[in-house]
């Protein structure tokens, strides 16, 4: 009897995404592609999706060019390429209109992407219906990813309820997206067995991070249960918070009686060498060393390993303020490790009370942010839930989909006390089509919509970052950030791209230009945050962005917490005088609003 084959996908994009801020440039991706192909063991490669587009824009580079050139050699070799997209949020952190979502699948297929891996962080099948339909219509393979987590409500029956609906919509494959690596091996095997029993024609792929240590056992169990594909990585980015290495998993599968493709070790070592070369070139500056380590601390809190870097940065930022409060109350200061454990414990407290949202982008950030603010407020003798940001409220109220579990009564009461209402309709209905608006704006700017309307898509998906790319501001900012890192490391400062001068802002100039505009002033000294959890300097609102009187348009992070930036009038932004992360003084004007 012939052995059943297990096939492998190299998650090259996700290796970088789970390690640091950036991915390799397109010239580096083209350099490593032949060696990946020569390894001979991959039927698929994850090439793009998720943050890939934004990262290229932050480089000051065109992501459409990157996708076309990166997928081309794999197509020539007969290797499938797949992308990751976030359902309602597509390729960004917030909801996307349906017409922009549809255009995305058309563009990405024409650029060379074969498989669309679509997930909803809440596992709400309503957010996945259009992903399936649009992917199929564009000629792509539709793979729906289940966001895997471990909780009382996330049962096999729960997940099969999602599978039943997306199969009804027409999806071709199911992926078990074990983004935190906390899926228990026997549970995952039971889920795969049930999928294969009910839908034997459906391919199943497993994607699991190694952070808590379950992944190799999970891979063996899902393979025995009938899984077809396994996502793996290569050194020096395998293991740690990323993915198991292909060598280990391939040998484990072969020892268990599965058929696996041969692996060219010379080519493996070349991929390994080039990946390290890219790290040494510049990408390593943004890779937190802790991402190279596995930790069982992630088993309890369930946070995805890829968040550890940003989470530790958050804690470092809050440590000074927390210890200042500790000293003021006559209490001992806390080390970073102590704060980390306290944050993990608070996440464990917060998560079930917020309805058990799977801890994947963006909901992992929402839960972490709420836990962090709870911790900060409690150490300042304030109650829990004092500070909840608007995006987290959107999740709580159902604007982004149905939560898997019930909200705690205290959260429901808090929402009612604020006069907030819950929404149980289809989330997509809240976001009307926008392509005509963006077409008109491109026409006004004199910009071409590009081959297969790919530039229109990029502008509509990532307006702010696209404008920064077109103006040259993004390239200048990236070069400066890299030069600063190299200077701190004592390395020569090499700027490979021309520097574009940033615009200089003068308060008097704007006051004269917009005599009837109303200034927005910082209420306190601190760090200017136009968008919480966004660290790009370009995250400030663009000119023309609407704001509403009395509703926060941004924040200043002070040593004692967040101060809101509240516009005094309803209108549109006509000027922004401060970029994300600037230090501002109390009373400083950071924007002008025109009624």
Confidence tier at 513 by pLDDT (50, 70, 90): low
Token representation of residue 467: 């404008």
Rg of the chain taking only CA atoms, in angstroms: 24
Token representation of residue 64: 């459409």
Q: Which is higher by pLDDT, 498 or 438?
A: 438
SS3 label, residue 590 = strand
Query: Poorest-confidence range of 11-25, 76-90, 257-271, 567-581?
Result: 567-581
Are residues 114 and 80 in contact, defined by beta-carbon separation less than 8 angstroms?
yes
φ, ψ at 311 (rounded to 5°): -65, -40
Token representation of residue 573: 């932004």
* Beta-bridge partner residues of 143: 117, 173
Would you list the DSSP string of 162-175? HHHHHHHHT--EEE
pLDDT at 510: 60
Does pLDDT of 312 surpass 80? Answer: no
Question: What's the CA angle centered on 88, arms 86 and 93, to 5 degrees?
Answer: 60
Does pLDDT of 309 surpass 80? Answer: no
> Left (φ > 0), alpha (ψ -120 to 50) or beta: where does 315 sit?
alpha
pLDDT tens by residue, 431-466: 999 999 999 999 999 999 999 999 999 999 999 999
| Beta strands in 419-577, from DSSP E residues, in sequence order | 518-521, 526-529, 546-547, 554-558, 561-565, 571-576
- How many residues are listed for the chain in this entry? 595
C-alpha to C-alpha distances, 390 to 282, 291, 300, nearest whole angstrom: 35, 29, 27
Are residues 48 and 105 in contact, defined by beta-carbon separation less than 8 angstroms?
no
Are residues 213 and 242 in contact, defined by beta-carbon separation less than 8 angstroms?
no
Q: Which is higher by pLDDT, 170 or 546?
A: 170
Does pLDDT of 505 surpass 80? Answer: no
Are residues 179 and 147 in contact, defined by beta-carbon separation less than 8 angstroms?
yes
> Domains of the chain (ranges plus CATH)?
7-287 (3.20.20.70), 434-471 (no CATH), 503-594 (2.40.50.100)
| Average pLDDT estimate for 541-553 | 83
φ, ψ at 212 (rounded to 5°): -80, -15
Q: Mean pLDDT, the chain, as a whole number?
A: 89
Token representation of residue 116: 């669309």
pLDDT at 73: 98
Query: Poorest-confidence range of 421-425, 533-537, 540-544, 559-563?
Result: 533-537
Are residues 176 and 205 in contact, defined by beta-carbon separation less than 8 angstroms?
yes
| Average pLDDT estimate for 160-176 | 98
Q: Which is higher by pLDDT, 499 or 329?
A: 329
| Average pLDDT estimate for 56-71 | 96
Confidence tier at 537 by pLDDT (50, 70, 90): low
Does pLDDT of 502 surpass 50? Answer: no
pLDDT at 511: 59
Does pLDDT of 492 surpass 70? Answer: no
SS3 label, residue 243 = coil
Confidence tier at 269 by pLDDT (50, 70, 90): very high
Query: Poorest-confidence range of 16-25, 41-50, 404-413?
Result: 16-25
Q: Which residues contact 236 (CB under 8 A, 6 or more apart)?
A: 272, 275, 276, 279
Q: Which residues contact 54 (CB under 8 A, 6 or more apart)?
A: 63, 91, 92, 462, 465
pLDDT tens by residue, 99-144: 999 999 999 999 999 999 999 999 999 999 999 999 999 999 999 9
Q: What is the 3-state secondary structure (H, E, C) of 245-312?
A: EHHHHHHHHHHCCCECCCCCHHHHHHHHHHHHHHHHHCHHHHECHHHHCCCCHHHHHCCCHHHHHHHH
pLDDT at 503: 42
Query: Poorest-confidence range of 81-95, 235-249, 260-274, 381-395?
Result: 381-395
Helices 98-111, 454-461: crossing angle, 10 deg rounding? 130
Confidence tier at 212 by pLDDT (50, 70, 90): very high
| Average pLDDT estimate for 233-249 | 96
CA dihedral 241, 245, 248, 253 (to 10 degrees): 100
pLDDT at 498: 36
Does pLDDT of 500 surpass 60? Answer: no
Does pLDDT of 533 surpass 60? Answer: no
């Amino acid at each position: 009897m012939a052995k059943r084959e297990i096939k492998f996908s190299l998650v090259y994009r996700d290796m970088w995404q789970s390690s640091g801020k950036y991915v390799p440039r397109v010239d580096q991706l083209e350099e490593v592609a032949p060696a990946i192909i020569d390894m001979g063991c991959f039927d698929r490669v994850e090439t793009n999706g998720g943050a890939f587009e934004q990262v290229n824009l932050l480089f000051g580079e065109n992501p459409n060019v990157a996708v076309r050139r990166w997928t081309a050699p794999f197509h020539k070799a007969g290797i499938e390429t797949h992308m990751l997209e976030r359902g309602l949020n597509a390729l960004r952190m917030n909801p996307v209109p349906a017409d922009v979502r549809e255009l995305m699948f058309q563009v990405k297929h024409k650029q060379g992407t074969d498989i669309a891996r679509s997930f909803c962080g809440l596992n709400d099948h309503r957010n996945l219906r259009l992903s399936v339909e649009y992917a199929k219509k564009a000629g792509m393979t539709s793979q729906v990813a289940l966001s895997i987590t471990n909780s009382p409500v996330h049962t096999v029956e729960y997940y099969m309820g999602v599978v039943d609906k997306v199969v009804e919509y027409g999806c071709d494959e199911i992926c078990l997206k074990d983004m935190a690596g906390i899926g228990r091996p026997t549970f995952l095997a039971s889920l795969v067995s049930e999928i294969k029993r009910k839908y034997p024609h459906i391919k199943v792929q497993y994607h699991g991070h190694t952070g808590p240590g379950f992944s190799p056992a999970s891979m063996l169990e899902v393979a025995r249960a009938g899984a077809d594909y396994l996502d793996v990585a290569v050194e020096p980015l395998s293991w740690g918070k990323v993915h198991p290495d292909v060598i280990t998993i391939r040998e484990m599968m072969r020892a268990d009686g599965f058929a696996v493709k041969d692996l060219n070790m010379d080519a493996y070592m070349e991929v390994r060498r080039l990946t390290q070369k890219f790290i040494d070139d510049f990408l390593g500056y943004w890779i937190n060393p802790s991402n190279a380590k596995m930790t069982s601390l992630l088993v309890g809190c369930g946070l995805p390993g890829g968040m550890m870097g940003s989470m530790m940065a958050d804690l470092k930022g809050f440590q000074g303020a927390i210890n200042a409060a500790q000293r003021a109350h006559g209490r001992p200061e806390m080390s970073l490790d102590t704060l980390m454990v306290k944050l993990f414990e608070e996440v464990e407290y917060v998560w079930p009370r917020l309805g058990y949202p799977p801890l994947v982008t963006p909901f992992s950030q929402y839960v972490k942010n709420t836990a962090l603010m709870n911790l900060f407020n409690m150490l300042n003798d304030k109650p829990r839930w004092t500070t909840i940001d608007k995006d987290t409220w959107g999740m709580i109220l159902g604007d982004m989909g149905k939560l898997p579990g019930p909200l705690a009564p205290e959260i429901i009461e808090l929402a009612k006390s604020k006069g907030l209402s819950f929404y149980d309709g289809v989330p997509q209905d809240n976001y009307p089509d926008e392509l005509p608006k963006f077409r008109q704006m491109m026409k006004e700017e004199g910009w071409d919509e590009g081959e297969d309307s790919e530039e229109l898509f990029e502008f509509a998906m990532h307006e702010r970052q696209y404008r920064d790319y077109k103006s040259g501001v993004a390239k200048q900012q990236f070069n400066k950030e890299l030069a600063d890192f190299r200077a701190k490391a004592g390395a020569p400062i090499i700027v490979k791209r021309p520097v574009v001068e940033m615009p200089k802002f003068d308060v008097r100039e704007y006051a004269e230009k917009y005599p009837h505009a109303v200034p927005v002033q910082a209420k306190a000294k601190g760090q200017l945050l136009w968008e919480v959890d966004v660290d790009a300097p370009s995250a400030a609102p663009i000119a023309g962005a609407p704001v509403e009187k009395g509703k926060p348009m941004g924040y200043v992070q002070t040593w004692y917490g967040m101060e809101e930036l509240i516009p005094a009038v309803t209108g549109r932004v006509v000027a922004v005088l401060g970029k994300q992360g600037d230090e501002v003084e109390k009373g400083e004007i950071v924007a002008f609003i025109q009624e």
